[in-house]
Every structure is written in structure tokens, then in C-alpha cells.
């Protein structure tokens, strides 16, 4: 017997992953986002997986709650050729999304943005570059 389950649309998956990215960057739970929208956290899970499509008015509400423009959810979407000069740019932005989706990346980002002194920020970047260079030499 053939399963008749439709695969989620790649755009729905992308929009969902961007919702998850922004929500986790803000340290917001699925429950809190759902509560703000008047829906369950299970519904948020389905949006984030791309299983359920996010309607336009709901996406507008989500963008307001997560404090980003609606266009944020479509940046680097599959098939989006606007402003992309090649695969290098697309893969570099995917790298950033992957990094910020990781626990370590999220923790590092949250801590880094709390550093107000630009000189200290520069020294942290230099330290990380030096550690990465040492790791390559091993």
C-alpha cells in the first residue's frame, strides 16, 4: 500500500526553521510563543518542522512577537535568487543558521552580545581565531 502523506513544502520547512532560529535566539520556549499566539506548543512544533503551513496573518503575528520583519522568515529560502551571486553565499548563510541553531553557538552569541566594549569584543574574536588556528595545527 502506498502512503499518501505529502512531504512538507521546502518553503514551509525553511520558514519553520527560521521561526525556530529566531525563537531560540531570543531564548523563548515553544510554549511561550504558542501562548502569545493563543495556540498550543504542539502547533508551534508543526510550524517549525514545516508539517503545517503558517498563514499570512499568523506569520505577521509571529514576526511581531519575535521582533523581526516578515521578510526574515524568507531570507535564503530555497529558490530565492534575490541578491545571491552564487552557492558560496548561500552555504555561508546556512553555516550561520546551523551555528546559531546549536546549543554552543546560541550560548556564545548570547554572551557575546552582552559585551558592550568594542575592544573586548575584538579581543574575543582574536582569541577564537587563535584557538581555531591551534586546532587546525594539531
pTM reported for the whole predicted model: 0.64
- Tens of pLDDT, residue by residue over 62-98, are 999 999 999 999 988 887 655 444 444 445 456 666 7
Give the Cα separation of 95 and 58 in Å (integer). Answer: 28
Give the Cα separation of 117 and 54 in Å (integer). Answer: 40
**Which has the closest alpha carbon to 39: 21, 22, 19?**
19
Residue-level pLDDT at 118: 86
Residue-level pLDDT at 83: 47
Q: What's the mean pLDDT in 3-28?
A: 86
C-beta of residue 72 within 8 angstroms of C-beta of residue 26: no
Q: Sort residue 13 into left (φ over 0), alpha (ψ -120 to 50) or beta.
A: alpha
For the cut 50, the answer to whether the pLDDT of residue 31 exceeds it is: yes
Amino acid at each position: 500500500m502506498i502512503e499518501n502523506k505529502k512531504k512538507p513544502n521546502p518553503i514551509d520547512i525553511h520558514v519553520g526553521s527560521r521561526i525556530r532560529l529566531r525563537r531560540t535566539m531570543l531564548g523563548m520556549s515553544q510554549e511561550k510563543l504558542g501562548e502569545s499566539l493563543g495556540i498550543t506548543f504542539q502547533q508551534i512544533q508543526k510550524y517549525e518542522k514545516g508539517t503545517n503551513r503558517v498563514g499570512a496573518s499568523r506569520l505577521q503575528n509571529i514576526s511581531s512577537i519575535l521582533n523581526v520583519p516578515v521578510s526574515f522568515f524568507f531570507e535564503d529560502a530555497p529558490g530565492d535568487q534575490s541578491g545571491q551571486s552564487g552557492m558560496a553565499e548561500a552555504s555561508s548563510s546556512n553555516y550561520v543558521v546551523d551555528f546559531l541553531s546549536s546549543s554552543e553557538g546560541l550560548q556564545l552569541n548570547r554572551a557575546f552580545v552582552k559585551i558592550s566594549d568594542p575592544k573586548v569584543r575584538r579581543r574575543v574574536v582574536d582569541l577564537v581565531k587563535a584557538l581555531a588556528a591551534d586546532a587546525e595545527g594539531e
